[in-house]
Amino acid sequence: MQINEVLSKASVIPVLEVAALKDAAPLALALAAGGLEVIELTLRTACALEALEAMKIAAPSLIVGMGTIRSAGDIEQSTAAGADFLVSPGASTSLLGALAGAGVPALAGVATASEAMTAFEAGFAAMKFFPAEPAGGIAYLKSLAGPLPDVVFCPTGGITAEKAPAYLALPNVACVGGSWIATRAMIAQSNWDEIEANAKMAASLK
Protein backbone atom coordinates (compact mmCIF):
# COMPACT_ATOMS: atom_id res chain seq x y z
CA MET A 1 0.00 0.00 0.00
CA GLN A 2 1.22 3.48 -0.91
CA ILE A 3 0.52 6.61 1.15
CA ASN A 4 -1.88 7.97 -1.48
CA GLU A 5 -3.96 4.79 -1.08
CA VAL A 6 -4.08 5.32 2.69
CA LEU A 7 -5.13 8.95 2.31
CA SER A 8 -7.78 8.09 -0.29
CA LYS A 9 -9.60 6.04 2.35
CA ALA A 10 -9.86 8.97 4.78
CA SER A 11 -11.46 12.38 5.01
CA VAL A 12 -10.62 12.89 8.69
CA ILE A 13 -7.93 10.82 10.41
CA PRO A 14 -8.45 10.79 14.18
CA VAL A 15 -5.25 11.53 16.08
CA LEU A 16 -5.38 9.42 19.22
CA GLU A 17 -3.54 9.28 22.54
CA VAL A 18 -4.19 6.07 24.46
CA ALA A 19 -2.92 6.20 28.05
CA ALA A 20 -4.42 2.91 29.27
CA LEU A 21 -4.09 -0.33 27.31
CA LYS A 22 -7.60 -1.42 28.34
CA ASP A 23 -9.03 1.42 26.24
CA ALA A 24 -7.38 0.39 22.97
CA ALA A 25 -9.80 -2.33 21.85
CA PRO A 26 -13.09 -0.55 22.64
CA LEU A 27 -11.72 2.63 21.06
CA ALA A 28 -10.87 0.78 17.85
CA LEU A 29 -14.31 -0.82 17.77
CA ALA A 30 -16.07 2.54 18.26
CA LEU A 31 -14.09 4.19 15.46
CA ALA A 32 -14.68 1.29 13.08
CA ALA A 33 -18.39 1.22 13.95
CA GLY A 34 -18.49 4.91 13.04
CA GLY A 35 -17.27 4.11 9.57
CA LEU A 36 -13.66 5.28 9.76
CA GLU A 37 -11.03 3.28 7.92
CA VAL A 38 -7.82 5.11 8.85
CA ILE A 39 -6.64 6.17 12.31
CA GLU A 40 -3.41 7.55 13.79
CA LEU A 41 -2.22 6.49 17.22
CA THR A 42 0.47 8.71 18.76
CA LEU A 43 3.70 7.41 20.23
CA ARG A 44 3.30 9.57 23.33
CA THR A 45 2.37 7.05 26.01
CA ALA A 46 4.09 4.06 27.60
CA CYS A 47 1.51 1.66 26.19
CA ALA A 48 1.30 3.09 22.67
CA LEU A 49 2.99 0.16 20.93
CA GLU A 50 0.89 -2.40 22.77
CA ALA A 51 -2.22 -0.31 22.09
CA LEU A 52 -1.47 -0.36 18.37
CA GLU A 53 -1.31 -4.16 18.41
CA ALA A 54 -4.53 -4.38 20.45
CA MET A 55 -6.41 -2.03 18.11
CA LYS A 56 -5.41 -4.01 15.03
CA ILE A 57 -6.60 -7.24 16.66
CA ALA A 58 -9.89 -5.71 17.82
CA ALA A 59 -10.71 -4.07 14.47
CA PRO A 60 -8.76 -5.76 11.65
CA SER A 61 -10.42 -3.56 9.03
CA LEU A 62 -8.74 -0.43 10.40
CA ILE A 63 -5.59 0.97 8.82
CA VAL A 64 -3.64 1.95 11.94
CA GLY A 65 -0.74 4.37 11.71
CA MET A 66 1.72 5.47 14.36
CA GLY A 67 2.35 9.17 14.78
CA THR A 68 4.88 11.30 16.69
CA ILE A 69 7.68 9.43 14.90
CA ARG A 70 10.91 11.29 15.67
CA SER A 71 13.75 8.79 15.21
CA ALA A 72 14.87 5.64 13.45
CA GLY A 73 14.24 3.82 16.73
CA ASP A 74 10.61 4.98 16.71
CA ILE A 75 10.28 3.66 13.17
CA GLU A 76 11.72 0.26 14.06
CA GLN A 77 9.51 -0.16 17.13
CA SER A 78 6.36 0.99 15.35
CA THR A 79 6.80 -1.19 12.28
CA ALA A 80 7.62 -4.16 14.51
CA ALA A 81 4.32 -3.54 16.34
CA GLY A 82 2.48 -3.65 13.01
CA ALA A 83 1.99 0.03 12.11
CA ASP A 84 0.40 0.31 8.68
CA PHE A 85 1.87 3.77 8.11
CA LEU A 86 4.01 6.34 9.93
CA VAL A 87 3.53 10.05 10.66
CA SER A 88 6.15 12.51 11.90
CA PRO A 89 5.50 15.97 13.41
CA GLY A 90 8.50 17.35 11.51
CA ALA A 91 11.33 15.90 9.50
CA SER A 92 15.10 16.27 9.69
CA THR A 93 17.17 15.08 6.73
CA SER A 94 18.13 11.91 8.61
CA LEU A 95 14.53 11.18 9.58
CA LEU A 96 13.38 11.66 5.99
CA GLY A 97 15.91 9.05 4.94
CA ALA A 98 14.78 6.65 7.65
CA LEU A 99 11.10 7.13 6.75
CA ALA A 100 11.86 6.54 3.07
CA GLY A 101 13.41 3.22 3.96
CA ALA A 102 10.84 2.16 6.53
CA GLY A 103 9.04 -0.31 4.30
CA VAL A 104 5.62 1.19 5.09
CA PRO A 105 3.96 4.40 3.83
CA ALA A 106 4.88 7.59 5.66
CA LEU A 107 3.68 11.16 6.04
CA ALA A 108 6.59 13.47 6.78
CA GLY A 109 5.68 16.52 8.82
CA VAL A 110 6.31 20.00 7.36
CA ALA A 111 5.33 23.55 8.24
CA THR A 112 7.01 25.69 5.59
CA ALA A 113 7.58 25.80 1.82
CA SER A 114 11.27 25.02 2.31
CA GLU A 115 10.48 21.97 4.44
CA ALA A 116 7.94 20.79 1.86
CA MET A 117 10.51 21.15 -0.92
CA THR A 118 13.08 19.22 1.10
CA ALA A 119 10.60 16.41 1.78
CA PHE A 120 9.57 16.34 -1.90
CA GLU A 121 13.20 16.01 -2.96
CA ALA A 122 13.47 13.06 -0.54
CA GLY A 123 10.61 11.31 -2.34
CA PHE A 124 7.56 12.47 -0.41
CA ALA A 125 4.68 13.91 -2.46
CA ALA A 126 2.18 13.69 0.42
CA MET A 127 2.97 15.37 3.72
CA LYS A 128 1.52 16.23 7.09
CA PHE A 129 1.11 20.02 7.48
CA PHE A 130 1.65 20.61 11.20
CA PRO A 131 0.70 22.49 13.28
CA ALA A 132 -1.91 23.53 10.74
CA GLU A 133 -3.76 26.37 12.44
CA PRO A 134 -0.74 28.02 14.14
CA ALA A 135 1.34 27.62 10.95
CA GLY A 136 -1.08 29.61 8.80
CA GLY A 137 -4.00 27.30 8.18
CA ILE A 138 -6.12 27.52 5.06
CA ALA A 139 -4.54 30.74 3.81
CA TYR A 140 -1.06 29.25 3.97
CA LEU A 141 -2.09 26.05 2.20
CA LYS A 142 -3.71 28.11 -0.56
CA SER A 143 -0.46 30.02 -1.00
CA LEU A 144 1.49 26.75 -1.39
CA ALA A 145 -0.79 25.37 -4.11
CA GLY A 146 0.68 27.55 -6.85
CA PRO A 147 4.43 26.99 -6.37
CA LEU A 148 4.01 23.38 -5.15
CA PRO A 149 1.25 21.95 -7.37
CA ASP A 150 2.47 18.36 -7.05
CA VAL A 151 2.33 18.21 -3.25
CA VAL A 152 -0.73 17.18 -1.23
CA PHE A 153 -1.16 17.68 2.48
CA CYS A 154 -2.88 16.22 5.50
CA PRO A 155 -3.17 19.30 7.74
CA THR A 156 -3.28 18.51 11.45
CA GLY A 157 -3.26 20.68 14.56
CA GLY A 158 -6.06 22.88 15.81
CA ILE A 159 -8.56 21.64 13.24
CA THR A 160 -12.07 21.23 14.63
CA ALA A 161 -15.19 19.58 13.24
CA GLU A 162 -16.38 23.03 12.16
CA LYS A 163 -13.13 23.93 10.37
CA ALA A 164 -12.56 20.56 8.67
CA PRO A 165 -14.88 21.08 5.64
CA ALA A 166 -13.08 24.27 4.59
CA TYR A 167 -9.74 22.47 4.67
CA LEU A 168 -11.14 19.50 2.75
CA ALA A 169 -12.37 21.85 0.02
CA LEU A 170 -8.78 22.81 -0.86
CA PRO A 171 -7.40 21.04 -3.95
CA ASN A 172 -4.06 20.31 -2.27
CA VAL A 173 -5.62 18.72 0.85
CA ALA A 174 -6.15 14.96 0.75
CA CYS A 175 -7.58 14.68 4.26
CA VAL A 176 -7.21 16.28 7.69
CA GLY A 177 -6.13 15.04 11.10
CA GLY A 178 -8.20 15.78 14.18
CA SER A 179 -8.11 14.92 17.86
CA TRP A 180 -11.72 16.08 18.39
CA ILE A 181 -13.14 12.72 17.29
CA ALA A 182 -11.77 10.99 20.37
CA THR A 183 -10.14 13.33 22.87
CA ARG A 184 -8.06 12.10 25.80
CA ALA A 185 -10.96 12.92 28.12
CA MET A 186 -13.50 10.99 26.03
CA ILE A 187 -11.21 7.95 25.96
CA ALA A 188 -10.45 8.12 29.69
CA GLN A 189 -14.19 8.35 30.44
CA SER A 190 -15.04 5.44 28.10
CA ASN A 191 -17.40 7.62 26.06
CA TRP A 192 -17.55 5.08 23.23
CA ASP A 193 -21.00 6.12 22.01
CA GLU A 194 -19.89 9.75 21.68
CA ILE A 195 -16.72 8.68 19.90
CA GLU A 196 -18.71 6.50 17.50
CA ALA A 197 -21.05 9.42 16.76
CA ASN A 198 -18.09 11.74 16.13
CA ALA A 199 -16.57 9.11 13.85
CA LYS A 200 -19.79 8.87 11.85
CA MET A 201 -19.84 12.61 11.39
CA ALA A 202 -16.18 12.65 10.37
CA ALA A 203 -16.69 9.79 7.92
CA SER A 204 -19.51 11.74 6.25
CA LEU A 205 -17.23 14.71 5.43
CA LYS A 206 -15.85 14.99 1.92
Q: Which residue in the list 40, 56, 163, 196 is annotated as catalytic? A: 40
DSSP letter for each residue of 148-161: -TT-EEEEBSS--T
In the residue annotation, 200 being an active-site residue is answered as no
185's CB contacts (< 8 A; 6+ apart) are: none
Do 14 and 186 contact (CB within 8 A), yes or no?
no
Do 45 and 51 contact (CB within 8 A), yes or no?
yes
Buried b (16+ CB within 10 A) or exposed e, 11-25: bbbbbbbbeeeebbb
In the residue annotation, 9 being an active-site residue is answered as no
Q: Is 171 helix (H, G, I), strand (E, B) or coil?
A: coil
Q: Which residue in the list 56, 128, 163, 196 is annotated as catalytic? A: 128
Interhelix angle for 48-58 vs 24-33, to 10°? 50
Q: Which residues are catalytic?
A: 40, 128
